[in-house]
């Protein structure tokens, strides 16, 4: 048995593979397969979730290599991006949370952590750690092509890529809202946040309500409801200010200025505004020109948007309830002398919503049981109505210009109108608050100007991408629809960043190219990466890349001509990419960009051929997350379980696109299985009385039915496992190649147990088993390469099993009748057991009767008829005069009519000899003497009449 946690064996083979360079792939005359998996962003240690991602391509690469393909499986490091910058800063700041994570979750030694103040060091540290772990898992990667995305050569490549896109008109300039920390003076990502992870940014419409030449600027998500405005709300307990906005005076809350100043250029504070003094004054609605009174409301959040809200009590639950509260609040009405004015205010309907009356806000408040404007449930009520009206609302009839339009349409038109006529503006705010940076500062929404975009909205480009997608294989096929959807939906993408590691935008060096954009066509870089260490990056210019990748014939530099041609041919050989593997949450961006960029830059014959999408990893049923400490590092998993067990578990517990769940308990089961597998060699050696060698294996003519059965079964497994692997179904492949395979062998051992005494039988058994073993080891090699090399070596297989030929299934060895025969024997044993159980007695003799020939004929006729048509079956049988006793034919026809459609009929089987050959087994199994009759010479209870084809009759006594 091979001790799986004996890392010497793993190391031994890893070293041998590296020494013999069997995974280093260069162009030759074989057919090629080029597959890549998303290169990792090494900002932390590799955990078991990553393990699955990178094991799948390794298994496939190994499988294809054994099938005789020239397979290229490379790896690189995506060190582009901002997260490590933040990490380095936090480490420098001695942020305890960050230090804990790196010390305890990523298990970085103390002396290393101290160097983590340098972001470059972090990615270097982890990329070399990734490299080591990948080697320890036995990945068949061509390491000569390893690179980091900050290598100068790669940057040259990215610059070329972006100039290509730019020259095709797929890059444009604009502005873009981002999360921003005024404290750090930097945009912030989710990983930089203390609070507010995953919070979105919303666009709000600002509406200017005039008052004596100044403007109260109210913010809204629903400008179409302006027609239903009844008043303005401000919060009199908060501070308001007047600001200068390009010559206009705006009145907003003081706190909202904090946010807005990052979004509006040239906005300046003029003076404080005494909020209570504004209550009761009137402003003018820019759309309807109606005058609205300014009223006090406590629900108005001065930090949200502009701190000014206009009120639509018919459709906004908050407004409705605030108005109701106010009407009942004598004290406030008295304080501001509002009583009569407020009592007059009635909701105004704007939107017609099926199933609701004129004032849906009132109904929804009722439904949710909202008590006042402080009620928690108010938010839910608002959301519900917002959704409903957005989806199904129609503008009401009395609104001249917009009647009968859907709410969505009317909203867009009204926003446009407000902007064009300068009666409104736009601003952004977070969907939820608070959003707080790790430095403790409240984050804001900032508008970045001069931002560069990739124009995924471009119809020409979308069309190219669609065409590219169409010719690709997508696994699993269901996600194709997702791709189509995303390609259609993608809008312009901000592709430049202020901070992070990466490549500068070649024509605007103040910007860095964002990480999802510099990782779209890099697979093409692998093809040439192995040459790069010998070439000075200064020699790489656009003419070089255009010539290598696009055959532009443009290269004019001084790289040796022969070398240059070799590089060019190498790319030509490996491209197009056969398979791209990545996680399912990247379908909407990374993988779609990959399609976009390839279709834009490369000619059609270099477009990628296939995509495989992965599911996520769970740990004992919970989502894995480094930041929550809920991970198991691969290194630890390898240490405790061994590389092959880890690989096997990751491949066997779920298909790649399904979520897998790492469960210690199930891991143990897997381990036992593979131990059993590795012990198999010894078991065979025991049976064949000598050590095994593949050198002398010759299958020859197999006589015994049970041996033939095993060969059939094994060949079916080979066939199914191969088909499964072709489609990346690692779980199914293992189901066939390991679990069911083992089951077959268990059954086989059970069947032959009592025959091992017999010398002749034993010889054939051992030949059969060695044949099986040789196939089995090869079948398992992609999954558990170390164990398999060790076994292969032990039985004197030739060379590395990693380079051995993948077992090809032999149709000649699959004998349906043999399989059926075994089924009959097993069925018979089970039936007898059942009868024993029912009668609750241990028989001494069991008599078995085979169905007479005429029944078989009737059976065949029934099979031909194909449906339970008793009349026809009977008619045809009688006509052929199959049997003298017509009544018996009728009974039998009736009996089998339904049965026959269910039975897989493989033709006449010599049931008598099959059972006679299995008598030893049956007697042994049942603990009684078993006698089989071709003709019922002894049948005291006339049981033989029950015999059917494939189902002998039984009499026990």
Partner RNA sequence: GCAGGGAUGGUCGAGCGGUCAAAGGCGCUAGGUUGAGGGCCUAGUGGGUGAGUCCCUUCGCGGGUUCGAAUCCCGUUCCCUGCACCA
Does 184 engage in binding with RNA (CB under 7 A)? Answer: no
Does 665 engage in binding with RNA (CB under 7 A)? Answer: yes
Tokens of 507: 């024509």
Binder among 265, 337, 463, 743 for RNA (CB under 7 A): 743
Q: Which residue, chain included where needed, has tokens 């269901």?
A: 478
- Give the single-character DSSP code of 904: -
Query: Which span (215-223, 336-344, 585-593, 715-723) binds RNA, by CB under 7 A?
Result: 585-593
Q: Is 899 exposed, middle or buried (0-12, 13-18, 19+ CB in 10 A)?
A: middle
Under rule CB under 7 A, which residues in 749-768 are in contact with RNA? 750
**Radius of gyration (C-alpha) of the chain in whole angstroms:** 38
Report the nearest approach of RNA to the CB of residue 101 (Å). 16
What angle in degrees, to the nearest 10, is found between the helix axes of 48-66 and 634-641? 70
Report the nearest approach of RNA to the CB of residue 691 (Å). 23
Does 589 engage in binding with RNA (CB under 7 A)? Answer: yes
| Spatial separation of the C-alpha atoms in residues 661 and 646, rounded to whole Å | 13
Which helix (H) or strand (E) element contains residue 195?
strand 193-195
Does 443 engage in binding with RNA (CB under 7 A)? Answer: no
Does 947 engage in binding with RNA (CB under 7 A)? Answer: yes
Binder among 44, 76, 81, 317 for RNA (CB under 7 A): 81
Site string for RNA, 331-370 (x = CB under 7 A): ----------------------------------------
Binder among 288, 329, 554, 658 for RNA (CB under 7 A): 658
- Tally helices (H) and strands (E) across the chain: 35, 31
Does 774 engage in binding with RNA (CB under 7 A)? Answer: no
CA distances to 100, 107, 194, 633 from 627, in Å:
10, 13, 12, 13
**Cis peptide preceding 762, ω within 30 of 0:** no
Does 478 engage in binding with RNA (CB under 7 A)? Answer: yes
Report the nearest approach of RNA to the CB of residue 100 (Å). 21
Of 539 and 833, nearer to RNA (C-beta) is 833
Binder among 89, 255, 423, 951 for RNA (CB under 7 A): 951
What are residue 649's phi and psi, to 5 degrees? -60, -45
Of 252 and 516, nearer to RNA (C-beta) is 516
Asked whether the beta carbons of 113 and 99 are under 8 A apart, the reply is yes
Which helix (H) or strand (E) element contains residue 881?
none
Does 721 engage in binding with RNA (CB under 7 A)? Answer: no
| Three-state SS at 786 | helix
Of 322 and 523, nearer to RNA (C-beta) is 523
Report the candidate in 109, 111, 150, 105 with the shortest Cα–Cα distance to residue 127: 150
Report the nearest approach of RNA to the CB of residue 470 (Å). 16
Tokens of 620: 């004992």
Of 655 and 789, nearer to RNA (C-beta) is 655
Of 230 and 722, nearer to RNA (C-beta) is 722
Report the nearest approach of RNA to the CB of residue 448 (Å). 10
Under rule CB under 7 A, which residues in 223-282 are in contact with RNA? none
Binder among 275, 348, 437, 479 for RNA (CB under 7 A): 479
Tokens of 91: 């480490």
Under rule CB under 7 A, which residues in 902-931 are in contact with RNA? 902-904
Under rule CB under 7 A, which residues in 482-521 are in contact with RNA? 482, 485, 490-494, 497, 500, 514-516
Tokens of 631: 């991970």
Report the nearest approach of RNA to the CB of residue 400 (Å). 27
Of 456 and 783, nearer to RNA (C-beta) is 456
Of 279 and 381, nearer to RNA (C-beta) is 381
**Cis peptide preceding 576, ω within 30 of 0:** yes
Q: Which residue, chain included where needed, has tokens 């699955």?
A: 52
Asked whether the beta carbons of 360 and 385 are under 8 A apart, the reply is yes
Number of Cβ atoms within 10 Å of the Cβ of 26: 14
Does 739 engage in binding with RNA (CB under 7 A)? Answer: yes
Of 89 and 176, nearer to RNA (C-beta) is 176
Report the nearest approach of RNA to the CB of residue 759 (Å). 24
Of 289 and 838, nearer to RNA (C-beta) is 838
Report the candidate in 532, 517, 533 with the shortest Cα–Cα distance to residue 544: 532
Query: Which span (4-12, 75-83, 418-426, 532-540) binds RNA, by CB under 7 A?
Result: 75-83
Report the nearest approach of RNA to the CB of residue 931 (Å). 13
Of 32 and 924, nearer to RNA (C-beta) is 924
Under rule CB under 7 A, which residues in 840-879 are in contact with RNA? 840, 843, 866-868
Of 69 and 593, nearer to RNA (C-beta) is 593
Query: Which span (340-348, 433-441, 536-544, 830-838) binds RNA, by CB under 7 A?
Result: 830-838
User: Residues 617, 619, 621, CA angle at the centre, nearest 5°?
Assistant: 95
Of 141 and 900, nearer to RNA (C-beta) is 900
Which helix (H) or strand (E) element contains residue 14?
helix 7-20
Report the nearest approach of RNA to the CB of residue 878 (Å). 22
Does 173 engage in binding with RNA (CB under 7 A)? Answer: no
| Spatial separation of the C-alpha atoms in residues 427 and 422, rounded to whole Å | 14
Query: Which span (181-189, 323-331, 365-373, 757-765) binds RNA, by CB under 7 A?
Result: 181-189
Does 387 engage in binding with RNA (CB under 7 A)? Answer: yes
What are residue 618's phi and psi, to 5 degrees? -115, 155
Report the DSSP beta bridge partners of residue 77: 148
Binder among 27, 182, 557, 827 for RNA (CB under 7 A): 827
Does 946 engage in binding with RNA (CB under 7 A)? Answer: yes
Does 955 engage in binding with RNA (CB under 7 A)? Answer: yes
- Give the single-character DSSP code of 81: B
Does 584 engage in binding with RNA (CB under 7 A)? Answer: yes
| Spatial separation of the C-alpha atoms in residues 290 and 227, rounded to whole Å | 9
Report the nearest approach of RNA to the CB of residue 734 (Å). 9
Of 10 and 744, nearer to RNA (C-beta) is 744
Query: Which span (188-196, 397-405, 784-792, 883-891) binds RNA, by CB under 7 A?
Result: 188-196
| Spatial separation of the C-alpha atoms in residues 480 and 729, rounded to whole Å | 17
What is the size of the binding site for RNA (CB under 7 A)?
A: 88
Does 835 engage in binding with RNA (CB under 7 A)? Answer: yes
Which helix (H) or strand (E) element contains residue 931?
strand 929-933
Of 377 and 732, nearer to RNA (C-beta) is 732
Does 123 engage in binding with RNA (CB under 7 A)? Answer: no
Does 78 engage in binding with RNA (CB under 7 A)? Answer: yes
What angle in degrees, to the nearest 10, is found between the helix axes of 634-641 and 643-652? 110
* Cα first-last separation, the chain: 46
| Spatial separation of the C-alpha atoms in residues 150 and 765, rounded to whole Å | 60
| Spatial separation of the C-alpha atoms in residues 132 and 11, rounded to whole Å | 12
Of 579 and 955, nearer to RNA (C-beta) is 955
Report the candidate in 447, 425, 501, 437 with the shortest Cα–Cα distance to residue 204: 425
CA distances to 469, 627, 831 from 106, in Å:
38, 10, 58
Which helix (H) or strand (E) element contains residue 956?
strand 953-956
Report the candidate in 504, 436, 498, 600 with the shortest Cα–Cα distance to residue 176: 498
Under rule CB under 7 A, which residues in 686-705 are in contact with RNA? none
């Amino acid at each position: 048995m091979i001790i799986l946690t004996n890392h010497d064996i793993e190391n031994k083979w890893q070293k041998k593979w590296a020494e013999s360079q069997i995974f280093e792939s260069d162009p030759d005359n074989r057919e090629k397969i080029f597959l890549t998996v998303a290169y990792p962003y090494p900002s932390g240690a590799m955990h078991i979730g990553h393990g699955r991602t990178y094991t799948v391509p390794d298994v496939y690469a190994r499988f294809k290599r054994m099938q005789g393909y020239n397979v290229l499986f490379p790896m690189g490091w995506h060190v582009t991006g901002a997260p490590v910058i933040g990490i380095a800063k936090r480490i420098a700041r001695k942020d305890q949370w960050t230090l804990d994570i790196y010390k305890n979750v990523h298990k970085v030694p103390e002396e290393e952590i101290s160097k983590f103040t340098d972001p470059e060091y972090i990615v270097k540290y982890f990329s070399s750690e990734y490299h080591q772990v990948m080697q320890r898992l036995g990945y068949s990667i061509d390491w000569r092509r390893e690179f980091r995305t900050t290598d100068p050569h790669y940057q040259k490549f990215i610059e070329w890529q972006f100039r290509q896109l730019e020259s095709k008109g797929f890059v444009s300039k604009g502005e873009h809202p981002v999360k921003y920390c005024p404290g750090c003076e930097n945009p912030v990502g989710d990983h930089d946040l203390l609070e507010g992870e995953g919070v979105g940014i919303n666009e709000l419409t600002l509406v200017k309500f005039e008052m004596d030449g100044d403007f109260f600027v109210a913010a809204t998500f629903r400008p179409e409801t302006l027609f239903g405005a009844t008043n303005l709300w401000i919060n009199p307990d908060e501070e308001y200010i007047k600001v200068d906005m390009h010559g206009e005076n705006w009145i907003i809350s003081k706190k909202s200025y904090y946010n807005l100043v990052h979004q509006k250029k040239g906005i300046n504070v003029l003076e404080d505004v005494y909020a209570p003094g504004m209550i009761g004054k009137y402003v003018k609605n820019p759309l309807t020109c109606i005058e609205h009174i300014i009223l006090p409301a406590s629900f108005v959040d001065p930090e949200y948007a502009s701190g000014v809200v206009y009120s639509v009590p018919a459709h906004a639950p908050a407004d409705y309830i605030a108005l109701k509260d106010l009407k009942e609040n004598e004290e406030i009405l008295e304080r501001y002398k509002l009583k009569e004015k407020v009592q007059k205010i009635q909701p105004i309907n704007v939107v017609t919503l099926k199933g609701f009356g004129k004032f849906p806000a009132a109904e929804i408040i009722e439904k949710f049981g909202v008590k006042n404007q402080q009620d928690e449930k108010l938010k839910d009520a608002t959301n519900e109505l917002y959704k409903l009206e957005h989806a199904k609302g129609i503008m009401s009839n009395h609104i001249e210009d917009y009647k009968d339009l859907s709410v969505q349409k009317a909203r867009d038109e009204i926003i446009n109108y407000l902007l064009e006529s300068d009666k409104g503006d736009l601003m952004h705010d977070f969907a939820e608050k608070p959003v707080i940076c790790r430095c403790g500062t409240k984050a804001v929404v900032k508008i970045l100007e001069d931002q560069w975009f990739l124009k995924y909205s471009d119809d020409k480009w979308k069309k190219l991408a669609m065409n590219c997608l169409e010719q690709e294989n997508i696994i699993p096929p269901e996600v194709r629809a997702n791709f189509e959807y995303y390609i259609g939906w993608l809008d312009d993408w901000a592709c430049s960043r202020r901070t992070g590691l990466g490549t500068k935008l070649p024509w605007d060096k103040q910007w860095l190219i964002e990480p999802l954009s510099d990782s779209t066509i890099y697979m093409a870089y692998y093809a040439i990466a192995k040459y790069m260490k010998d070439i000075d990056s200064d020699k790489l210019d656009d003419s070089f890349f255009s010539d290598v990748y696009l055959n532009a014939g443009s290269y004019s530099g001084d790289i040796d001509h022969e070398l240059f041609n070799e590089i060019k041919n190498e790319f030509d050989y490996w491209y197009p990419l056969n398979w791209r593997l990545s996680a399912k949450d990247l379908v909407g961006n990374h993988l779609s960009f990959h399609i976009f960029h390839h279709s834009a830059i490369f000619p059609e014959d270099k477009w990628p051929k296939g995509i495989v999408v992965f599911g996520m990893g769970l740990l004992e049923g919970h989502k894995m997350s480094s930041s929550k400490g809920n991970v198991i590092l691969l290194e630890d998993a390898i240490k405790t379980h061994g590389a092959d067990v880890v690989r096997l578990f990751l491949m066997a517990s779920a298909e790649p696109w399904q979520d897998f769940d790492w469960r210690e308990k199930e891991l143990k089961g897997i381990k036992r299985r593979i131990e059993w597998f590795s012990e198999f060699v010894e078991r065979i050696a025991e049976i064949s009385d000598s050590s095994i060698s593949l050198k002398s294996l010759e299958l020859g003519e197999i006589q015994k039915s049970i041996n033939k059965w095993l060969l059939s079964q094994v060949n079916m497994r080979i066939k199914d496992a191969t088909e499964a692997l072709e489609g990346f179904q690692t779980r199914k492949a293992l189901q066939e190649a390991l679990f069911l395979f083992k089951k077959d062998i268990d059954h086989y051992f059970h069947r032959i147990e009592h025959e091992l005494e017999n010398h002749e039988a034993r010889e054939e058994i051992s030949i059969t088993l060695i044949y099986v073993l040789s196939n089995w080891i090869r079948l398992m090699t992609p999954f558990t390469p170390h164990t398999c090399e060790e076994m292969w070596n032990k039985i004197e297989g030739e060379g590395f099993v990693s380079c051995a030929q993948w077992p090809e299934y032999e149709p000649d060895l699959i004998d349906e009748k043999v399989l059926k025969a075994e089924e009959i024997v097993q069925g018979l044993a089970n039936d007898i057991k059942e009868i024993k159980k029912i009668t609750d007695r241990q028989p001494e003799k069991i008599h078995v009767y085979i169905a007479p020939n005429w029944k078989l004929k009737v059976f065949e006729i029934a099979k031909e008829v194909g449906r339970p048509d008793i009349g026809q079956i009977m008619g045809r049988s009688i006509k052929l005069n199959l049997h003298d006793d017509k009544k018996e034919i009728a009974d039998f026809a009736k009996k089998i009519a339904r049965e026959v459609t269910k039975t897989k009929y493989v033709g006449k089987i010599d049931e008598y000899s099959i059972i006679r050959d299995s008598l030893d087994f049956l007697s042994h199994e049942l603990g009684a003497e078993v006698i089989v009759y071709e003709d019922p010479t002894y049948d005291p209870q006339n049981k033989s009449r029950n015999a059917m084809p494939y189902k002998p009759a039984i009499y026990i006594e």
